[in-house]
Amino acid sequence: MKLKERVLGIVEGLKREYPQAECSLNYEEPYQLLFATRLSAQCTDARVNIVTKELYGRFKTLQEIAECDISELERIVHPCGVYRMKARDIRACANVLLEKHGGRVPDTMEELTALPGVGRKTANLILGDVYGKPAVVADTHCIRISNMLGLCDSKDPKKVEMRLRDIVPPDEQNMLCHRFVWHGRAVCNARSPKCDSCVINKFCKTYQKENHS
Ligand code: SF4
């Protein structure tokens, strides 16, 4: 089977299986997603959602976050781990957004990754979810499943991102990454993937190798 055919099979198969897939971080304003993503490093989305509920309840605007008492911010984000660095990045980022971007979250990779604490993963999430641009969020699920499927052969997030940008149609990239997360949680989990019931097993190199070698 040709690569293009496999990619489309994977895109369509996961689309049918998870039509409603979306980012599991809660937010109302773009900056809230930006900070929630910063908090999600080494933390579950479920815990981040609990913390951001308190965070955005306490500080209701970007201005309030920019001017907040750092020890109070640290206390609130403490459950997410690495709390000092996360609090420092969030407050610094709020200041840069206000000073350089008029309080708006920018919509280019270059500007986003220039913000304190913002890497390509976060930038891609904003580009895809907030601005509807082609974007590949190379998180742990995306990297693992792309490798299992044989779409790429690297654990390096940037290499995986670039590879998927090359082979996945641009308007499918963002949602495919969300669906990888859902698929990773429901079926293709790291410890025991449920390959026999996986809806994309016929496009999966790992499955094909194990069952037809
Ligand atoms: S067939 Fe197995 S390894 Fe391949 S994507 Fe499905 S669950 Fe993952």
Residue 37 is part of a domain; what is its CATH number?
1.10.340.30
pLDDT of residue 211: 84
State whether the beta carbon of 10 lies less than 6 angstroms from ligand 1.
Answer: no
pLDDT of residue 212: 67
Q: What is the CA radius of gyration of the chain?
A: 18
Between CA 210 and CA 193 the distance in angstroms is 13
Test site for ligand 1: of 17, 188, 210, most ligand atoms within 8 A of the Cβ: 188
pLDDT of residue 1: 86
Number of structural domains in the chain: 2
**Do residues 40 and 9 share a domain?**
no
Long-range own/partner contacts, residues 42-50 (CB < 8 A, 24 or more apart): 42/81, 42/82, 43/79, 43/80, 43/81, 47/79, 47/80, 48/80, 49/24, 49/25, 50/79
Between CA 149 and CA 144 the distance in angstroms is 9
Containing domain of residue 191, as a range? 3-21+136-212
**Do residues 145 and 185 share a domain?**
yes
Domain boundary among the residues 130, 150, 174 is at: 130
Q: Where are the beta strands (DSSP E) in 155-199?
A: none
pLDDT of residue 210: 87
State whether the beta carbon of 199 lies less than 6 angstroms from ligand 1.
Answer: no
**Do residues 98 and 179 share a domain?**
no
Write out residues in the chain with pLDDT < 50, as ranges. Answer: none
139 is catalytic: yes
CA of 202 to the centre of ligand 1 (A): 9
CA of 160 to the centre of ligand 1 (A): 17
**Do residues 126 and 140 share a domain?**
no
194 is catalytic: no
**Do residues 147 and 95 share a domain?**
no
0.85 exceeded by pTM? yes
Domain boundary among the residues 88, 109, 130 is at: 130
